Amino acid sequence: MSGVDTNNRISRKSFIAQVAAFTLLPLACKSKYSHIKGSILGANATKGHQLRREIPQLPHTKSAKKVVIIGGGVSGLSAARQLQKNGVTDVVVLEMNDTPGGNSLSGKNEITAYPWGAHYLPIPDCADKELLSFLHSCGVITGFNKNGLPIYNEEYLCFDPEERLFINGYWQEGLIPKFGVPLAEQAQIKRFLSEMDNYRKAIGNDGKDAFCIPVNKCSNDYTYKRYDEITFEQYLKQNNYNSTHLIWYLNYCTKDDFGAGIDKVSAWAGIHYFAARKGKAENASHDDVLTWPEGNKWLVNQLQKGLEGQIITNALTYSVKQNQKEKIEVTYLNGDDAHLIEADVVVLATPNFINKHIVEQELLTHQQLNANAMPWMVANITVKRFFEYTKGLPLSWDNVIYGNAGLGYINATQQHLNQPSDKNVFTFYYPFCNKSAAEERQRALGLSHKDWVEIIIKELEMAHLDIVNHIEQIDVWIWGHGMVLPEPGYQKKLASLQPAHPRIKYAHTDFSGISIFEEAFHQGIHAANEIIKQYATNV
Amino acid sequence: MDSIPKVSKREFNSHMLLLISVFVVATCGLIYELVAGTAASYLLGDSVTQFSTIIGVYLFSMGIGSYLSRFFNHNLLAWFIQIEIMVGLVGGFSSTILFLLFGFLSYFRLVLYSLVGFTGILVGLEIPLLMRILEKKYEFKELVSKVFTFDYIGALLASLIFPLVLVPYLGLLRTSLFFGILNILVALIVCNRFSGEIAWSGRLKFIAILSIIALTLGFTYANELLSWSEASAYQENVIYAKSTPYQRVVLTQSKKDLRLYLNGNLQFSSGDEYRYHEALVHPAMQSQTTPENVLVLGGGDGLAVRELLKYKQVKQIFLVDLDKAITNLFTTNELLTTLNQHAFSNKKVKVTNADAFIWLKENKLKFDCIIVDFPDPSNYSVGKLYSQTFYKLLTQSLSDNGVAVIQSTSPFIARTSFWCINNTLKSVGFNTIPYHAYVPSFGDWGFHIAYKSKQLITADTFTVNTRFITNEVFKQMQMFPPDIAYMHTEVNKLNNQVLVNYFEHEWSRYQ
C-alpha cells in the first residue's frame, strides 16, 4: 500500500466526493413532497359563477320542447328517464359540465376508473319497487328468488374485506370502534345501535315507516318528526350518550352522509342515517352496499341509456322566464353562443341556491329553501404498491383512520376482478365543516395543491408511516357546494313549502334534505310523474 | 542467493513486490475458480459435475494462456498490468454476471464456461509473463523456486479462506468482487512502482482506479443486486430472485431439488412435482374420450402442460398465466425447460399472459378440460379466483361433457378450506369428485374434479405413461379418512371471502 501515489488517492477521493455532491445536492434541495405530481380540478366554479353576471346576448337559435330539464345530475337524468318510459320524449336535459352526473362524477387513469364524488348505493328497501326495477334493468339485480327477494350481481356487491378502522395502532374490521375501546363505552355503543335498530323497525301513527327512503314516504308522526327540531348532538346529550369513541363515530357518519358533524345536522337526519336502510336480498343484507370503480358514475351511465341525443352538455342555463304565450323560455350558453328553448314545462334539477340566479322571481314563489351545502374535497391518489407494517385487516374498500378530520380513503380497485398490479388508486374524502358553509368554502378554495398534499399525507401517515415515498400523484377536486346540510328545522321547512308554479317542477335532493342517490332518483321520478299527470289531464 | 547482494535495496523491494503480486495473483486466480464452481453448483446443482468441469476448463484455459504468453514480446510490465486489471474486472464481476444472467439466458452454461475460460486464459498469462519480467533479476532455478513457492502458498491460502471465511462472511458476490479489487490494487501498485519503465503508466493507473471504483460500487450494492436477506429465509440456495409487478419469484437449488417459490410459497419441488402434476392432470383427462381443447389457468411453470402433451388427441392447449416473467423464465431457461420438457415451445401450446378472471369472462371458446392451478387462497386477491362468480364463468367455458380440475390446497392442514372449495363448486351446479394425493414436499394435497354432466366416467386405466398415478392409486385418492372427511362450510363469494378467512386461520394454526 505504501507504494500508492498520494496524488492518486486525493484525486480519487475528490472524484468520489464530487460525484456524491452532484447526485446528493439536488436531493437535499428538494422538499419531501416534490416528487408528487397532480393538480386541482373540478368545481367548475368559474363557469358557474358566470351566472352572477348579466349575460347581454341575443340567442343564436330558438327551438321548442315539451320539457326542459335543467341539470344533468341523478335527479335530472332520472326525470328524463321516467318521462321517456312514459312516452314523453320531446325532452332535453341541459348540463353545465362536459359530462352528466352532478355529484357522481368519475375519472380514469391507466390503473383504474375512480370516483370524484358519490361512490356507492346501499342495498335498497324491497318496498322501493322503482329503484329495484331500475337496478334489474341494468343487471345489478339478476333476478328474484321465490320469496321475491332480489338476487344481486355479485360483481357489484362490495367485495370483502369491506371496511376497516385504524385505531390504537391496529386495523380492526368494521368502522364502529371496538379495538381497545373501554368496555363501558362499548356498552354505550351497543345501546345506541340497538336503539337505532328499534327506529329502523318503528312505524308512525299514520302507518308509515318512521324512517325510510325516500324521505317523503316517512311518517309525519310527531314522535319522530320532533327530532327535526334539535341537533343530533343535543339528542345524544339528552339520551346520555357521551362515549368519546361513539361521538367520534357518529361525527364520522354524519360527515360522510351530510358533510357536517353532529353539532350541525338535525337529530332526525342523524337517526335517519342509521334507521332508514332496510334492504333485503337473497345474497346480501341491509348494511351491504353496491359499488363500482367509477363510483355512482356507473349508475349515471345506466340512467343515461336511451337518452342519447336528449342531453346537451356544456350548456350553462342563465335565464328561465315566462313569455307572453305563458310558456317558459330557457336560455343557455353553449360555448360562446346563446340558445333559447321554449318549453311547456321546466324541471329545475339544480341545487336550490342556483335557482334564484337563473329563474325569474315570479316563477319561484315560495320555493326558496336557503339550503346550506358544505364544501368538500375529494382526492385521487396514485400509489405504488407498498408493504403495510401495521397489523390487522389488509387493504379494504373503505379505510378509515380514527381521530382524523378526513373520512379516510376508498380503494378504487376493490371491485376489480383481476389480480392487483403494482399500482393502485385511493380516493380520499375530506369535508369542511368546522365553521359556516361560506367561510369553509373560502378556505377550501384558497388552498394550493401543495397545501392539499400536505393535509392528505399528514392524515395518511397516521396509519401508513412511509406512504409519502409511495405516492406518485394526487389530484384534488373541490366541491364548493357539496351536499345539502339537513340542519334542524329543515324537514319542517320542506313540509311548509307552497305549491310551485304549474310550469315549474323541482327535482333535487335539496327537496329531500338528504343528498343520496335514492333520493335524487325519486326526486326525478316524482317531478316526471307530475308532468305526466298534467299532460294526461290536459288531453 | 548470491545474486541478492548485487541489487540495491530499492531493486530488492521491487522484486519482492513482484513476488508478492505473484502470491496475490495466485490467490485471486484460485478464488475465481472456486467462485465459478460454487456458483455453478448453486445454480445448476450437481456439485461434483460442476466443480470437475469447471476445474478442467479453468486449468485447460490456463494452459492456453501460458501458450499465448509467447506472443507477448515487448512492454511486458505494461501487459502484465493490463492483464491484471482485466482479470480483476472479469473475475471480480464473474459471480455477479452469473447470478444476474441466470434467469434470462437459454445458454447459461455457454456463458458460464466462457467466463471461466476467459478468466483461465488471463490467469494463465500472468505467471509466464511475471517470470519473464523477473528473468533478468534472478537465476533461473531461484526464479522458478520463488515464483512457484509464492504461487502455491497463494493457492493454499485461497483454498482455506474460501470455505472458512469468505463464503460464510462475504457471500459469493462480494468474495469475487473483493478479490477483483485486490487484483487491480496489485496492478496499481506495480504500475506506480515501475511507472518509469512503463509507457502509458498514467492511463493505466486511471483505468485501474476506475475499475476499482466499479468493483467497490458492486461490492457496496451487492445486497441490492441479489437479496441475500431473502436467501437466508430459504433453506436452500437462492439461484434466482426477481420482483415482477405481481409477485416475488424465487428459485432455489439444493442437492436434492430445484424449487420455485412465489411470494415465499412453495410452488413445486423438482423432486416430487411429477406426483402433484400427474394427480392434477390425468384423472380429469382420462375421463375424456377425445380431449381436444384444453385450457390451463395459472400453471406458468409448464409442468401441467408437460403432462397434457402426453395425450396425442389434444389439438390445442391454451395456457393463461398472469405473469409474463414466469412464462418467459419457463420458456427460455435451460434448467427449467429441461424440467417441463420445453412444453411452451410445443406448437399445440398457446401461452397468453392475462388475468385469468378477465380472460375467462371474455372467453367464448368451449374446452373439454380445464386445469385450474392457482396459488393457494392466502389473500383476498387470489381468493377471488376461488369464488362462486369465478366458478360460474368456469361452467360457461366448459363443453357439456367437459371436465375441470381445481387445485384445492391441503385437506389435512386446511380441511375447512378444502371443503369450502367443494361446496362453492357445487353451489354453481357442478358435480364434484374430491381427491387427494401425497406429495412429500407439500404434504397431503387436495384436488377437485368438477363437471356439469350427470355422470362422469373415470377411466379404468391410465393410458399415458405415468410414474405415480394408476387406477388403483386414484381410487384410493378418493377415500377421505374421518380426520379430513366432508364438512359443511359457507360458500365462498366475492362479498364474503370466507375461504381466505378459513385458509388464514387453518394455516396459521399449522405454522
Which residues does chain B have within 8 Å of residue A9's beta carbon, measured at their own beta carbons? none
Report pLDDT for B10: 66
CB A120 within 8 A of CB A291: yes
Does the pLDDT at position A26 exceed 80? Answer: no
CA distance B319 to B300: 8
pLDDT band at residue A3 under the 50/70/90 scheme: very low
Q: Is B193 on the interface with A (CB under 8 A)?
A: yes
Kind plus residue range of the DSSP H or E element containing A463? none
Say if the Cβ atoms of A158 and B355 lie within 8 Å: no
Number of domains in chain A: 1
Q: How far is CA B65 from CA B117, B123, B129, in A?
A: 10, 7, 10
Does the pLDDT at position A23 exceed 60? Answer: no
Q: Which three cell numbers stand for residue A321?
A: 322566464
Residue A40 lies in a domain: no
CB-nearest partner of A161 from B209, B388, B497: B497
CB-nearest partner of A159 from B205, B246, B494: B494
CA distance A168 to A401: 10
Average pLDDT score over residue span A365-376? 81
Picking from B414, B418, B410, B419, the residue whose alpha carbon sits closest to that of residue B439 is B410
Query: pLDDT per residue over A149-173, tens digit each?
Result: 999 999 999 999 999 999 998 999 9
Say if the Cβ atoms of A1 and B189 lie within 8 Å: yes
Q: Which residue of A has its CA nearest to B20?
A: A1
What DSSP designation does A25 have?
H
Average pLDDT score over residue span B45-57? 81
Report pLDDT for A415: 96
Reported residue count of chain A is 539
Interface test with A, best of B495, B499, B500, B504 (most A CBs within 10 A): B495
pLDDT band at residue A367 under the 50/70/90 scheme: low
Average pLDDT score over residue span A215-244? 96
* 3-state SS class at B252: strand
CA distance B444 to B448: 14
CB-nearest partner of A8 from B17, B209, B213: B209
- Domain extent listing, chain B: 9-229, 234-268, 271-508
CA distance A351 to A181: 41
The CATH number linked to A523 is 3.50.50.60
Say if the Cβ atoms of A158 and B188 lie within 8 Å: no
Picking from A452, A450, A468, A472, the residue whose alpha carbon sits closest to that of residue A460 is A468
B373 is catalytic: yes
Residue A291 lies in a domain: no
CA distance A40 to A409: 18
Cis peptide before A214 (omega within 30 of 0): yes
Q: Is A142 on the interface with B (CB under 8 A)?
A: no
Say if the Cβ atoms of A420 and B358 lie within 8 Å: no
Percent of chain B topping pLDDT 90: 51
Complex ipTM tops 0.85: no
Inter-helix orientation angle B76-101/B201-220, to 10°: 20
- Concatenated DSSP letters of B488-510: --PPP-TTT-HHHHHHHHHHHHH
Query: pLDDT per residue over A283-302, tens digit each?
Result: 998 889 999 999 999 999 99
Please state which of the ranges B12-21, B38-47, B374-383 shows the lowest mean pLDDT.
B38-47
CA distance B180 to B31: 10
Q: How far is CA A201 from CA A205, A235, A278, A414, in A?
A: 13, 19, 9, 32
Query: pLDDT per residue over A175-217, tens digit each?
Result: 999 999 999 999 999 999 999 999 999 999 999 999 999 999 9
Say if the Cβ atoms of A159 and B497 lie within 8 Å: yes
Does the pLDDT at position B25 exceed 70? Answer: yes
Contacts of B190 (CB under 8 A, 6+ apart): B17, B18, B21, B77, B80, B81, B84
CA torsion A466→A469→A470→A474, rounded to 10°? 110
Query: pLDDT per residue over A459-473, tens digit each?
Result: 999 999 889 989 999
Supply the pTM of this predicted model: 0.76
CB A520 within 8 A of CB A508: yes
Range of the domain at A90: 46-100+304-370+490-536
Strand B367-373, strand B398-407: pairing: parallel
Q: Which three cell numbers stand for residue A383?
A: 400509489
Picking from A382, A397, A395, A378, the residue whose alpha carbon sits closest to that of residue A463 is A395
pLDDT band at residue A1 under the 50/70/90 scheme: very low
Q: Is B382 on the interface with A (CB under 8 A)?
A: yes
Q: Is A133 on the interface with B (CB under 8 A)?
A: no
Which residues does chain B have within 8 Å of residue A4's beta carbon, measured at their own beta carbons? 188-189, 192
Which residues does chain B have within 8 Å of residue A418's beta carbon, measured at their own beta carbons? 355, 357-358
Say if the Cβ atoms of B322 and A162 lie within 8 Å: no
CA distance A87 to A202: 39
Does the pLDDT at position A60 exceed 60? Answer: yes
CB-nearest partner of B380 from A16, A158, A161: A161
CA distance B122 to B120: 5
Report pLDDT for B331: 94
Report pLDDT for A9: 42
Residue A359 pairs in a beta bridge with A320
* 3-state SS class at A475: strand
Cis peptide before A161 (omega within 30 of 0): yes
Report pLDDT for B463: 85
CA distance B153 to A335: 89
Say if the Cβ atoms of B379 and A159 lie within 8 Å: no
Mean pLDDT of chain A: 90
CA distance A4 to A16: 17
Contacts of A320 (CB under 8 A, 6+ apart): A70, A328, A329, A330, A331, A346, A348, A358, A359, A360, A363, A504
In the block, cell 321520478 appears at: A525
CB B183 within 8 A of CB B158: no
Q: Is B169 on the interface with A (CB under 8 A)?
A: no
The residue that leads in pLDDT, B131 or A193, is: A193
Helix/strand number for chain A, H first, E second: 15, 22
Fill in the amino acid letter for A49: H
Query: pLDDT per residue over B341-396, tens digit each?
Result: 999 999 999 999 999 999 999 999 999 999 999 999 988 889 999 999 999 999 99
Q: Is A157 on the interface with B (CB under 8 A)?
A: yes
Fill in the amino acid letter for A6: T
Q: Which residue of A has its CA nearest to B386?
A: A417
Percent of chain A topping pLDDT 70: 90
Query: pLDDT per residue over B191-250, tens digit each?
Result: 888 888 887 788 888 999 999 999 998 888 876 666 544 454 566 677 787 777 777 788
Q: Which residue of A has its CA nearest to B185?
A: A1
Q: Is A287 on the interface with B (CB under 8 A)?
A: no
Report pLDDT for B170: 80
Tell the CATH topology of B9-229: Growth Hormone; Chain: A; (1.20.1250)
Interface test with B, best of A14, A282, A418 (most B CBs within 10 A): A418
Report pLDDT for B8: 64
Say if the Cβ atoms of A154 and B493 lie within 8 Å: yes
Residue A469 lies in a domain: no
Residue A511 lies in a domain: yes
Q: How far is CA A393 from CA A182, A285, A426, in A?
A: 21, 21, 17
CA distance B159 to B166: 10
Q: How many CB pairs under 8 A join A and B?
A: 70
- Please say whether the dihedral angle defined by the alpha carbons of residues A306, A312, A317 and A323, taken in this order, is positive or negative: negative
Q: Is A1 on the interface with B (CB under 8 A)?
A: yes
The edge-to-edge listing of strands for the beta sheet with B258-262 is B237-243, B248-253, B258-262, B265-269
Q: Is B363 on the interface with A (CB under 8 A)?
A: no
Interface test with A, best of B194, B496, B501 (most A CBs within 10 A): B496
The residue that leads in pLDDT, B190 or B272, is: B272
Report pLDDT for B1: 42
Q: How far is CA B48 from CA B37, B57, B237, in A?
A: 9, 14, 16
Please state which of the ranges A15-24, A197-206, A518-527, B223-232 shows the lowest mean pLDDT.
A15-24
Residue A62 pairs in a beta bridge with A340
Report pLDDT for A5: 38
CA distance B474 to B458: 10
Interface test with B, best of A158, A391, A419, A424 (most B CBs within 10 A): A419
Average pLDDT score over residue span A30-52? 73
Please state which of the ranges A432-436, B299-303, B383-387 shows the lowest mean pLDDT.
A432-436
Q: Is A502 on the interface with B (CB under 8 A)?
A: no
The count of other CB atoms within 10 Å of the CB of residue A301 is 18
Q: Which three cell numbers stand for residue A19?
A: 460525484
pLDDT band at residue A342 under the 50/70/90 scheme: very high
- Report which listed range, A381-395, A399-413, B9-23, B179-193, is most confident: A399-413
Which residues does chain A have within 8 Å of residue B358's beta carbon, measured at their own beta carbons? 417-418
Q: Is A123 on the interface with B (CB under 8 A)?
A: no
Report pLDDT for A29: 45
Catalytic residue among B323, B373, B376, B444: B373
Say if the Cβ atoms of B384 and A159 lie within 8 Å: yes
CB-nearest partner of A422 from B245, B379, B387: B245
CA distance B181 to B214: 9
Tell the CATH topology of B271-508: Rossmann fold (3.40.50)
The residue that leads in pLDDT, B485 or B17, is: B485
Helix, strand, coil percentages in chain B from 3-state DSSP, rounded to 5: 60, 15, 25
CA distance B314 to B436: 25
Mean pLDDT of chain B: 87
CA distance A157 to A367: 38
Long-range contact set of residues A83-87: C-beta below 8 Å, sequence gap at least 24: A83/A528, A83/A531, A83/A532, A84/A306, A84/A307, A84/A310, A86/A528, A86/A532
**Chain B, 322-361: which have a CB under 8 Å from a chain A CB?**
322, 355, 357-358, 361
